[in-house]
Amino acid sequence: MVSCRGCSAQLSLTFLNLGASPIANDLLSGETLVSPEVFYPLHVMTCTDCSLVQIPEVAKREALFRSDYVYFSSYSTSWLEHSQVYAGKMIKLLDLSDQDLVIEVASNDGYLLQYFKENGVQVLGIEPSSGVAEVAIKKGISTVIDFFGTELAKKLTLNKMPKLLLGNNVLAHVPDLHDFVKGFSLLIAPEGLITFEFPHLVSLIKNNQFDTIYHEHYSYLSVTSLTPIFESHGLRITEVERLNTHGGSIRIYVVRKDSSWETSDSVSIILREEAENDPRNKIIWQSLQEKTLRVKIDLLEELVKCKRQGIKVAAYGAAAKGNTLLNYCGIDSDLISFVVDLNPHKQGNYLPGSRIPIVGLGHLSENTPDVLFVLPWNLADEINSQLSNFTDAGLKLLRAVPNLEYF
């Protein structure tokens, strides 16, 4: 039996079983294409005690976030815009100046901290993947290359406690939530603020976002499941903000229990919504399983129909969520000839499992398909804008989540 990473209870309830899949961001090169691939179970469980939805740690974090990790946040214009707005909001809310320190855990390529630095605020990034961290360092963003937790929090030499400590889209990537949260509690100033952003479990349930499930995401989070974890480390959630990012995320504001920050009604409102979409409820998880299978059947039928009719299909966005979808459905280059991605670090490689080649935008101009299957559906508007010249000429865009549709 596997224990819950939130409360240590034994896990027995299946939330969703997507079979087995390779590591979603573990792209194949021309050399590794001839080697065997390792497939890990993608079996999601729900804790019947604390409601935390999670994947057992079948793949260690060191295998997931290596030096050649290929996710660079700065290649999404919409994500950069979101980050700039966030920085401006925090600078105003906390009255940040050149005397204050902001620390971001999982700072990636400096996509967010650059906006604090531009406004004169002192910044420090913490990022375990050296490849993306080195890009941030070249931008002038001081970055510690290491995994964050209690041990690193104790080792950091700081001339002041941070007024703002943040982790955007990192909580789900943490196998030991208690060690991680304790590290935050050790660093934050007495009246300081911690913010976390993450895809909301309710959005996954309501909108059939099963493709956001992959091995890098150890947990699928809610305020309900996180509250006891924070409380056990002397922290409390004081506000919850809804976001449109990643198909429906939330930003939680976390402070010390004994701080003067007041708790807003937004916390109780979100808790009520989560109670109505409790992953322990058989009706909830059974419905999700049925809708997930429907997407698989509909997508395969559509791609096979296109193949039989001579309709050329390619994909856009070598995203992790796309790899979950492709491998769950058993799709490979027989049905999708190539995938376009703007990230040069991905181009020239192949998607794991499906082994579909990744190409740049120029390839699309020379080999325009009839249908382009958009894998990162959360960026559909941004991608639609980028490809307006193609769609105006007749290119059809297809997505599969929450259900199969041309758009």
Banded pLDDT at 119 (limits 50, 70, 90): very high
Per-residue pLDDT of 31-66, as tens digits, reads 999 999 999 999 999 999 999 999 988 766 666 666
The span from the CA of 253 to the CA of 185, in Å, is 13
Per-residue pLDDT of 249-281, as tens digits, reads 999 999 999 999 999 999 999 999 999 999 999
How far lies 259's CA from each of 33, 65, 192, 194, in Å? 54, 35, 8, 12
Position 69 scores a pLDDT of 61
The span from the CA of 321 to the CA of 327, in Å, is 10
Per-residue pLDDT of 127-177, as tens digits, reads 998 989 999 999 999 999 999 999 999 999 899 999 999 999 999 999 999
Per-residue pLDDT of 20-31, as tens digits, reads 999 999 999 999
Is the model's pLDDT at 68 over the cut of 70? no
Q: Does domain 73-275 have CATH number 3.40.50.150?
A: yes
Q: Mutual orientation of helices 282-308 and 320-329 as an angle, nearest 10°?
A: 80
Position 57 scores a pLDDT of 82
The span from the CA of 108 to the CA of 203, in Å, is 25
Position 73 scores a pLDDT of 74
Position 372 scores a pLDDT of 98
Same fold: 73-275 with 283-406: yes
Mean pLDDT of the chain: 95
Position 66 scores a pLDDT of 60
Banded pLDDT at 8 (limits 50, 70, 90): very high
Per-residue pLDDT of 308-328, as tens digits, reads 999 999 999 999 999 999 999
State the CATH architecture for 283-406.
Answer: 3-Layer(aba) Sandwich (3.40)
Find the mean pLDDT for residues 179-197. 97
Position 161 scores a pLDDT of 96
Position 74 scores a pLDDT of 72
Position 288 scores a pLDDT of 97
Per-residue pLDDT of 355-391, as tens digits, reads 999 999 999 999 999 999 999 999 888 899 999 999 9
Position 71 scores a pLDDT of 65
Q: Are 391 and 369 in contact (CB under 8 A)?
A: no
- pTM attached to this predicted model: 0.92
Provide the residue ranges of all domains of the chain, joining segments of one domain with +.
2-57, 73-275, 283-406
Q: Which of 106, 135, 137, 141 is nearest to 122 (CA)?
A: 141
Who has greater pLDDT, 64 or 284? 284
